[in-house]
Structure 1
Amino acid sequence: MYRKSPDKPLSRRRAAPRFAVRTIAVLALLGLWQAVAMALDNPSFIPAPKAVWDRLLLLSTTHDGIRGYSGSLLIEHLGVSLRRILIGSAIGVAGGLVLGVVLGTVPWIRIVAEPVVTFVRALPPLAYFSLLIIWFGIDETPKLWLLAIAALPPVAVATAAAVHGAPTDLVEAAKALGASRRHVIQDVVLPSALPEIFTGVRLAVGIAYSSVVAAETVNGVPGIGGMVRDAQRYLQTDVVVVGLFAIGISGLLIDGLLRVAEKRLIPWRGRS
């Protein structure tokens, strides 16, 4: 006899107190923020929540003939940065997937190239951004290359480890059935490696997102990172805080979308 699974009602019952706890935590942080701002009484150091909210409204509208910040609305600054992140992350993820598969399947290439990937992963973005500017100028190209280089190593490392650790019995069984090397990689190795690969993709997008401020240090307006850097020069702390909130909240939304995509594309993750 068919019996309806209680999983969904149970998950909903668990979600309600979780939402309440998070709401209380946010309100407590806002209260602490307000208390610290009032105690210091220095808007250039810590602006009050209301000052940040008022600045958010100004950055999102045209007021007294001033349109947003430097002629662009907040959503426009964010849109430019998201486009850069999307393109840079796509290039980095694609390159990381190809490199990771090669590193995981060709031992001598892994021996030669793995230290290089680790070396690049250890470099902070600003360390090589100056070199990219010398090579490509100050327009979009060095920004995209910076984000791509920042996103490539996590995907390459995760893919290489997952591919190298593919179940040996499945690989041998596929070979025994006459599968070619390409089909073994395509039909056995990659599906088993997808969960780890997707973890690398999420890390790569997060690293690219955190690098956007570095990417937009030069000629980055419009752009949310460029807006933050420009406001910092003029001690506009409320603008900086608005920009940081915009980056953080949009980053949470993007990671949430990646989680949903992961559940749909890899439904077998976590199941035996």
Structure 2
Amino acid sequence: MASSTASGSSEEVPPLKADPATSKPRNRNPLRFAALRWTALRLVALAVLLGAWQLVVVLEVWPRVLVPSPGEVWHQFILASTVHDGVRGYGDHLLIEHLAVSLRRIGIGVGYAVVFGVPLGVAIGAVRPVAVVLEPAVTFLRTLPPLAYLSLLVIWFGIDESPKIWLLVIAAMPPIAASTAAAVRGVPGDLVEAAKALGAGRLPLLGGVVLPSALPEILTGIRIAVGVAYTSVVAAETINGVPGIGGMIRDAQRYNQTSVVIVGIIAIGLSGIVLDALMKALERVLVPWRGRA
């Protein structure tokens, strides 16, 4: 008995299994590591770009007045963003103030474009005679570059805020109207017929079936319109555009201040990325079913 007990005690005890509820997985959050990996890749790409930029400056491929160094651009960014030696930013306005004025103009222009463009697109997509009359006009405006009608707007409205806002409205409205019309035409016929069979009238059919089904494409058109308005803001602010990021760029170009121009371009690009991310977040809130079966 003793020998059996001794032999039994000498046997190797198997390890206890970890409780699945308390055990920690080796990779707790794969999405987090993937995000870190892609962020690192972006930082490496940015470092390579800055290194190539500095190399071009050091080799003097172009004169400094045409291609300033990254350090000079950074220095100008600091000057444009602060009060220094009694000078407030650029043109007596800080960089963030220039950017805020431009964003306000874009917001007003795109807001009016949504107010007029969505109903226009619904009418074009739902009513054939309206499409025959107005769709060519929308296409005509969509193909015009902003500078083509800026001078006419200045003649009509002067050099204050009105021509800038109107230019952004005209630039942003056609993409919204075109995408809305295409979305309305793409509403599944089965949904419409089912709603009619249940006794839905025109207004309930429009508000309860057509618009919700078309909403994802309408939001895509609004995103495109915001991008078009952003690319048009420099043209809109060529006339009396200070304060404004486009006016700042235009004013700096007149005096060959290339570093200020680059600062303005970078500010537009970075704020555009943020604005597009906000639009994507809005899409996820308003149309959470998009991309799902």
- The TM tier, using the shorter chain, reads over 0.9
State how far apart, in whole Å, the 1-side matches of 2:283 and 2:251 are: 36
One-letter amino acid of the counterpart of residue 12, structure 1: R
Q: Which runs of 4+ in 1 moved over 6 A?
A: none
**1:13 aligned partner:** 33
Structure 2 unmatched ranges of 5 or more: 1-20
Determine if the alignment matches structure 1 residue 238 to structure 2 residue 238: no
Identity, % of aligned positions? 60
State the Cα distance separating 1:13 from its structure 2 match: 2.7
- Decide whether the 8 Å contact of 1:89 with 1:204 is kept in 2: yes
**Alignment RMSD:** 1.4
AA at the equivalent of 2:68: P
Q: 1:131 maps to what in 2?
A: 152
- Which aligned pairs between 1:106-255 and structure 2 lie closer than 5 A? 106-255=127-276
Determine the C-alpha separation between the residues in 1 that align with 2:132 and 2:57.
Answer: 54
Give the one of 13, 38, 45 matched to 1:25: 45
Structure 1 unaligned residues grouped into runs of 5+: none
Q: TM-score, normalised by structure 1?
A: 0.96
SS at structure 1 position matched to 2:59: helix
Query: 1:88–1:148: 8 Å Cα contact kept in structure 2?
Result: yes
Matched ranges for 1:22-101 at <5 A: 22-40=42-60, 42-101=63-122
Amino acid at match of 2:45: A
Q: Whole-Å Cα distance in 2 between the matches of residues 10 and 106 of structure 1?
A: 49
> So what's the TM-score if we normalise by structure 2?
0.89
1:102 aligned partner: 123
Give, in whole Å, the separation in 1 of the partners of 2:186 and 2:117. Answer: 17
* 1:182 partner letter: L
1:245 CA displacement: 0.5
What is the CA–CA distance in structure 2 between the aligned matches of 1:172 and 1:267, rounded to whole Å? 25
Distance (whole Å) between structure 2 residues aligned to residue 9 and residue 174 of structure 1: 44
Secondary structure of the 1:211 match is: helix
Q: Any idea what SS the aligned residue of 1:134 has?
A: helix
Select the structure of larger CA radius of gyration: 2
Contact 1:93 1:204 in 2 (8 A): no
